[in-house]
């Protein structure tokens, strides 16, 4: 699996390269600036990109904007964005096109190799990998909303795990309950939020996130 990596800090970039190679990923390019990332997207057609939000020369959101432009040119291009802090605006922009193959992780997660590699693989496969802190903030910001307020603590826990991109089996294992119980909680969640259930896990996650994200602009 070919990866384009964009990170301006040399030590972190080098560490990510070594980690990805240790898990049998091929590094198609490891760059440090926005213009280099744009060229890499155009010339290399990677299977997945791991991109720091803030890249030179602007050090604002250049990495994210390069990734979004690449996804417009190649819809569904898998992109995992790394950020130093939770920036809900960045999460919204990443989710805006409604397609899968997206992830948003805090850089702290990089130091847990299994968690990071799992996120890269999930995104590369067309799934979603959202940082738990992002989901937690979205849930907290909407906790006073009537539909959100109608969720039980157990249903909120299930929805957090769903929004992270977890399958029913993974949720059941995490919560030590049966998959049947997870399916029941999921059905209740969609009913209370007015969102139709779907067999497509990625679509249901994006639907939940899109709902939670309304009205936060």
For the entire predicted model, the pTM comes to 0.76
33 backbone dihedrals φ, ψ, rounded to 5°: -130, 165
Residue 191's contacts (CB-CB under 8 Å, 6 or more residues apart) are: none
Rounded CA gap, 192 and 214, in Å? 16
CB 103 within 8 A of CB 83: no
Torsion of CA 14, 19, 24, 29, to 10 degrees: -20
**What are the pLDDT tens digits along the chain (217 aa)?**
999 999 999 999 999 999 999 999 999 999 999 999 999 999 999 999 999 999 999 999 999 999 999 999 999 899 999 998 877 777 777 777 767 788 889 998 888 999 899 999 999 998 888 887 777 766 665 555 556 667 888 988 888 888 777 888 989 999 999 999 998 998 888 788 776 656 566 566 656 665 555 444 4
Rounded CA gap, 144 and 132, in Å? 20
| Amino acid 216: pLDDT | 44
Rounded CA gap, 143 and 10, in Å? 40
CB 46 within 8 A of CB 40: yes
In 3D space, the residue among 43, 88, 36, 86 whose CA is nearest the CA of residue 62 turns out to be 36
| Amino acid 141: pLDDT | 59
């Amino acid at each position: 699996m070919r990866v384009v990596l964009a990170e301006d800090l040399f030590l972190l970039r080098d560490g990510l390269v070594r980690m990805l190679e240790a898990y049998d990923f091929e590094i198609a390019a490891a760059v440090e600036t926005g213009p280099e990332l744009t060229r890499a997207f155009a010339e290399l057609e990677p299977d997945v990109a791991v991109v720091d939000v803030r890249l030179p020369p602007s050090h604002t959101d250049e990495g994210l904007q390069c990734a979004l432009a690449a996804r417009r040119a190649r819809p569904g291009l898998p992109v995992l964005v790394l950020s130093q802090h939770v920036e809900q605006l960045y999460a919204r922009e990443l989710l805006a096109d409604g397609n899968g193959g997206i992830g948003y992780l805090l850089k702290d997660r990089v130091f847990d190799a299994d968690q990071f590699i799992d996120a890269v693989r999930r995104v590369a496969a067309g799934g979603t990998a959202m940082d738990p802190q992002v989901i937690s903030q979205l849930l907290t910001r909407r906790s006073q909303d009537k539909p959100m307020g109608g969720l039980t603590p157990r249903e909120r826990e299930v929805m957090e795990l769903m929004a992270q991109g977890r399958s029913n089996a993974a949720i059941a294992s995490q919560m030590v309950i049966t998959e049947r119980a997870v399916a029941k909680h999921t059905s209740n969640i969609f009913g209370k939020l007015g969102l139709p259930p779907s067999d497509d896990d990625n679509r249901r996650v994006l639907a939940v996130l899109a709902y939670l994200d309304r009205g936060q602009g």
